[in-house]
Structure 1
Amino acid sequence: MRFFNRMRRLAVLAVPAMLAFPITGAWAQQPAPFKIGVLSDMSGMVADLSGPGTVAAVKLAVEDFGGSVLNRPIQVLEADHLNKPDVGVTAARAWYDEGVSAIFDIGLTSIALGVQELARDKNKLVVFLSSASSDLTRKNCSPNGIHWTYNNYSQALGVTRFYTKSGAKTWYFMTVDYAFGVNTQRDTTAMIEAAGGKVVGATRHPFDIKDFSSDLLKAQGSGADVIALATTTAHVAGLVKQADEFGIRPAQKIAPLSLTLHDVKALGLQAGQGLLVTAPYYWDQNDETRAFAKRYFDRFKKMPNMIQASAYGAVLHYLNAVKAVGVDDASKVAEKMKQTPINDFMTKNGRIREDGRAIRDMYIFRVKSPAASKSEWDIYETLEKIPAEEAFQKADPVCSLVKG
């Protein structure tokens, strides 16, 4: 009961435009709100990846859209799944039963897979922003799921490609022991082997660990050219700092496969310099990305990372599809989203494939040195663009939605 009370307290009326409706006559005659939800880690170890920052971007998108759709005021709900599958799936089920039309974000793979099935069963929509598992558009694909921002393959590709071109031959994995880590190691291993490289060892660590000494010593002892961190953003800073305590760099490269802007900010440029990041967005890429970042910063007092920036585009793409279809029907809206090219400040000429995978250009960034950085958020330099069709795996026939 305490959980549901908390959910009610977290429900936020996100659209100032709603206040424009006059309180006259019978309140019951006013149109029912059009509800969308943001389900994320709002307070835990990966809250900076998405969390409240994503809620801020969603609200900004709703306001820019105009605050209503289908003649109904848009209401944004938010809830903290606490990185617990039972809490997350229970929250999603309650929302769908209460009339929420679409849920955005999710995060943790085990929760994402549960909500994917729930959305299919209830003919609702789920749009994954910070969830990374490529299985969401492969063996676990659904006509009701859109995998919007990135996946573990696209995020690992840039790092793997860069070090392979630089001559790295041998790799060692430090992998978080749940679906995301396992999938990341699986997909990255395929890239390494396809390029003629070899994986010489691996260890797995639990989600709640903070001391990586034993695994780092094994990785160092392997003599691998690259130590790949197939773990969450929340673990990267601790791993990198401990690796430096053991003197692992520069003899061996440290390759986080899930590094984001806020991880680098937390780590600091002194420790983070030289690390590689693969992402579809960086706030200082061009005039359009900077313009959005300034608006976002004015509201949230931080620069947006790729998840938070992508939330804005995902919500606008969704709401435009609802408006175009003219009805709140998840199947029709999802189909319209797939038919419509993605064009916003972050993505040019992107598209959503039949399996639900949104594909867009990705970029390889390198973390700047303290001397090269000119301001607090001047963190990356761009090394390379990876075209959309290369950045993601081909649609897999294991997904029932893929024809041929």
Structure 2
Amino acid sequence: MDLRAMMPSALLLLALMALPGTATGADAPPAVTNVEAPSAVKIGILTDESGIYAEAGGPGNVVAARLAIADAGGTVLSRPIELLDADHKNDPAVGTQILTGWFYDGVDAVAGLSTSSVALAAQQIGRARDKTLLIAGAPDSDLIGTACAATSTHWAEDTYALARSTAEAVVPSGGDSWFFVTVDHAFGLAMERDANEAARALGALVLGRVRHPLGTADFSAVINAAKASHAKIVALADAGADLEHMIQQAGAAHLDAGGQTLAGLLVYLTDIHAVGLAAAQRLYVTEGFYWDQNDAARAFAKRFETEMHRMPTKQQAATYASVRHYLAAVAAAGTTEARAVNAEMRSLPIDFFGRPATIRPDGQVAYDLTLYQVKSPAESQYPWDYLKKVRDIPAARAFRPVAEGGCPLVK
């Protein structure tokens, strides 16, 4: 062995050992490696948390999304899932500002979207930014029509399906003349348009309409106009607190004494709960989800009730289903990139609370609907036992044919 060749290395080692703070061998601290925690997959719930639609969606949408995340294990692609929520206040400008900030901060998907005007504005932003939207509340049929987007899915029943289902129930039963009470914004106008077409197609006459602003408290003038029309069906193209006020005040004004019947075109379970069975009885209601429809729905409802102390609405159920399916698609796609995830979403099977569902090319999640009638107080046997089944409506019949919507994605 050449000791002379080893001397420079040995001297260097001795020099290093002599330096203050230098350790070798057993005295050396463990190596420090800067490993960043994996970034979160971010999901935002944008909903009405304080206005007239808050009971139907609102904080219940946040709870539903949280349950979906828990069922996904709390992580996806070995990344934590972060849930944000915000109140759009039923104002497209507010919703647009929130979405712009969220997308800048890396939010991957936005769910809820309980108001049509906000959802239509959101869909424009989502399309431009290639971000995923999971629309569980807004029912405007234009969302899957001329305004459709490749990275957006629509989990609610749209205005076409709701209008057609109600019209097919009431017109053959003698409701051959209609008068519309319509909230004057995107949802109400779309609902009136679709219900008008459905009623006329079945041979009914439309005798007039009154449009009211969002958040109306006094419906006396509206009720007087409806009475003066002598229409057999007074069709309510409004929702939430507006719908509740109209039903309550129509009952107090004895609208039915003249042989007129209310038809709610979009009625949530919370609306029936608010007005009571005595006022809402015999009202027709079209639902894709009712908490007591089957074992799968009851199992979800029980978990939701534990957190919210009431049963879920169909919007809250749709929020759960959309977030759960989105996370399954992210896992299958191996990415949060919106187009890849939405392609995966359209290919994966969907169990919509015990009912099979599919996502059409226009983004509509299609599933069978059920027409119910609100029970009388004497018919209700237990808490939240509000609806009795009239008939099922197959998805192919309930939803507008894909080719008729004007969606540019449909070829």
Is there any run of 5+ residues in structure 1 with no aligned partner, and where?
1-24
Indicate the SS of the match to 1:29: coil
Over 3 Å counting, the alpha-carbon distance change for 1:327 and 1:171 in structure 2 is same
Whether 1:83 aligns to 2:90 is yes
- 1:2-53: CA deviation from partner (whole Å, max 9, x where unpaired): xxxxxxxxxxxxxxxxxxxxxxx88861111110110001112210111110
Indicate the SS of the match to 2:171: helix
User: Runs of at least 4 residues of structure 1 off by over 3 A?
Assistant: 25-28
Shift of 1:70: 1.2
Shift of 1:296: 1.3
2: CA distance between counterparts of 1:344 and 1:182?
28
Q: Report the AA paired with residue 342 of structure 1.
A: I
The TM-score, its normalising length taken from structure 1, stands at 0.91
Over 3 Å counting, the alpha-carbon distance change for 1:29 and 1:282 in structure 2 is same
Equivalent residue number for residue 54 of structure 2: 47
* Mapping 1:5-404, distance limit 5 Å: 29-250=36-257, 251-346=259-354, 348-395=355-402, 396=404, 398-403=406-411
Q: Report the AA paired with residue 153 of structure 2.
A: I
1: CA distance between counterparts of 2:304 and 2:161?
25
- 1:250-302: CA deviation from partner (whole Å, max 9, x where unpaired): 51110111111000000111111111110101111122211111111112211
Is there any run of 5+ residues in structure 2 with no aligned partner, and where?
1-31
Q: Report the AA paired with residue 345 of structure 1.
A: F
> Retained in 2: the 8 A contact 1:141–1:401?
yes
> Retained in 1: the 8 A contact 2:45–2:62?
yes
Shift of 1:311: 1.4
Over 3 Å counting, the alpha-carbon distance change for 1:58 and 1:26 in structure 2 is farther
Q: Report the AA paired with residue 148 of structure 2.
A: C
Q: Percentage identity across aligned positions?
A: 39
2: CA distance between counterparts of 1:397 and 1:300?
37
> Retained in 2: the 8 A contact 1:210–1:238?
yes
1: CA distance between counterparts of 2:381 and 2:35?
56
Q: Report the AA paired with residue 117 of structure 2.
A: S
> Retained in 2: the 8 A contact 1:157–1:278?
no
Shift of 1:110: 1.6
2: CA distance between counterparts of 1:247 and 1:271?
11
Indicate the SS of the match to 2:373: strand
Over 3 Å counting, the alpha-carbon distance change for 1:227 and 1:71 in structure 2 is same
Q: Report the AA paired with residue 217 of structure 1.
A: N
- 1:75-105: CA deviation from partner (whole Å, max 9, x where unpaired): 1111111112111111011111111100001
Indicate the SS of the match to 1:165: coil
The TM-score, its normalising length taken from structure 2, stands at 0.89
2: CA distance between counterparts of 1:381 and 1:245?
25
Indicate the SS of the match to 1:59: helix
> Retained in 1: the 8 A contact 2:52–2:215?
no
> Retained in 1: the 8 A contact 2:61–2:319?
yes
2: CA distance between counterparts of 1:293 and 1:80?
24
1: CA distance between counterparts of 2:260 and 2:172?
16
> Retained in 2: the 8 A contact 1:37–1:103?
yes
Indicate the SS of the match to 1:141: coil
1: CA distance between counterparts of 2:156 and 2:190?
17
Q: Report the AA paired with residue 234 of structure 2.
A: I
1: CA distance between counterparts of 2:120 and 2:182?
20
> Retained in 2: the 8 A contact 1:31–1:72?
yes
Shift of 1:149: 2.0
1: CA distance between counterparts of 2:163 and 2:405?
22
Q: Report the AA paired with residue 278 of structure 2.
A: Q
Whose Rg is larger? 2
Q: Report the AA paired with residue 132 of structure 1.
A: P
2: CA distance between counterparts of 1:167 and 1:153?
21
